[in-house]
Amino acid sequence: QVQLVESGGGMAQVGGSLRLSCAASGDTTNMVVMGWYRHFPGKDQRQMVATVANGGSRHYDPSVAGRHTISMDDAKMAVTLEMNNLKPEDTGVYYCNFRRRKFGTLNYWGQGTQVTVGS
């Protein structure tokens, strides 16, 4: 099993910044992708906000590209999402996701952390 500990989030002003962090522990071997997801408006399924893959490749939802930056500490098995130039539309619950490959793909989810953006 993999346990995910999320930190950060909270409230920020429009145009401000927040930092989300997530650390994985347990059996973290064969990691494939790690990152942050959320429910976008009108979507029941959580979708990618930003992820980083083993090897360093990064992917962003177009709505955050150019504003947010995701990075990974391989030694700590932790990811950090720097959220900049925040907009009210960024408000929501952000979930950390850890994906590993073993007899198929396994997904692990954090409990979620609230991000609230307002003037």
Give the single-character DSSP code of 89.
Answer: G
Residues 83 and 89: beta-carbon distance below 8 Å: no
pLDDT digits (tens, 9 = 90+) for 27-64: 999 999 999 999 998 899 999 999 999 989 999 999 99
Closest CA to 99 of 75, 70, 79, 69: 79
Specify the pLDDT at position 91: 97
Closest CA to 97 of 51, 35, 32, 46: 35
Specify the pLDDT at position 68: 98
Single-letter amino acid, residue 12: A
Residue 16 has pLDDT above 90, yes or no: yes
Instruction: Provide the 3-class DSSP secondary structure of residue 67.
Output: coil
Specify the pLDDT at position 23: 98
Q: What average pLDDT does this structure show over 95-108?
A: 96
Order the strands of the 68-73 sheet from edge to edge: 2-8, 18-26, 78-83, 68-73
Specify the pLDDT at position 29: 95
Specify the pLDDT at position 119: 79
